[in-house]
A = this chain, B = another copy of it.
Amino acid sequence: MNVTLHEKQALHMECGGCPIRHRAVCARCDSAEMETLEQLKFYRSFQAGQTVIWSGDRMDFVASVVSGIATLTQTMEDGRRQMVGLLLPSDFVGRPGRSIASYDVTATTDLVMCCFRRKPFEDMLVKTPHVAQRLLEMTLDELDAAREWMLLLGRKTAREKIASLLAIVARRDASLHMRDTQGKVSVELPLTREEMADYLGLTLETVSRQISALKRDGIIRLHGKRLIEIPDYRRLLDEAGDDSDGGMPA
The B-contacting residues of A in range 94-131, CB under 8 angstroms, are 95-97, 102-103, 125-126, 129
Copies of this protein, total: 2
CB distance from A152 to the nearest CB of B (A): 9
> What's the minimum C-beta distance from A92 to chain B, rounded to whole angstroms?
11
* A30 interface contact, C-beta 8 A: no
Also in contact, A201 and B133, with CB within 8 A (given A103-B147, A139-B139, A142-B143)? no
Which residues between 153 and 197 of chain A lie within 8 Å of chain B, taking CB atoms?
Answer: 153-155
A32 interface residue (CB < 8 Å to B): no
Specify which of B76, B133, B146 is in contact with A241 (CB 8 Å cutoff): B76
| In contact, A149 and B151 (Cβ under 8 angstroms) | no
Interface string of A32-47 (1 = CB under 8 A from B): 0000000000000000
CA distance A132 to B143 in the complex (A): 16
Q: Report B-chain residues with C-beta under 8 Å of the C-beta of A146.
A: 143, 146-147, 150
Tell me, in angstroms, the Cα distance from A41 to B58 when the chains sit together.
41
Does A84 interact with chain B (Cβ within 8 Å)? yes
Name the CB-closest residue of B to A55.
Answer: B243
> Would A95 and B140 count as touching, CB distance under 8 A?
yes
> Which A residues between 177 and 223 are near B, CB-CB below 8 angstroms?
200-201
Closest chain B residue, CB of each to CB of A241: B76
Q: A126-B133, A132-B132, A132-B133 are in contact. Are A150 and B149 (CB under 8 A)?
A: yes
In Å, the complex CA distance between A81 and B156 comes to 10
Question: Does any Cβ of B come within 8 Å of A137's Cβ?
Answer: yes
Q: Tell me whether A153 and B243 are in contact in the complex, defined as CB-CB below 8 angstroms, given that A136-B139, A147-B84 are known contacts.
A: no
Partner of A82, one of B81, B137, B155: B155
CB distance from A147 to the nearest CB of B (A): 4
Looking at the complex, which one of B74, B129, B142 makes contact with A132 (CB distance below 8 Å)? B129
A135 within 8 A of B: yes
Which 8 pairs, one residue from A and one from B, show the smallest C-beta to C-beta distance?
Answer: A154-B201, A129-B129, A153-B153, A146-B146, A84-B147, A82-B151, A82-B154, A80-B155
Q: Which residues of A contact B (CB under 8 A)?
A: 72, 74, 76-78, 80-82, 84-85, 95-97, 102-103, 125-126, 129, 132-133, 135-137, 139-140, 142-144, 146-151, 153-155, 200-201, 241, 243
Show 8 A/B contacts (Cβ-Cβ < 8 Å), sorted by A: A74-B148, A74-B150, A76-B243, A97-B137, A102-B147, A136-B139, A146-B146, A146-B147
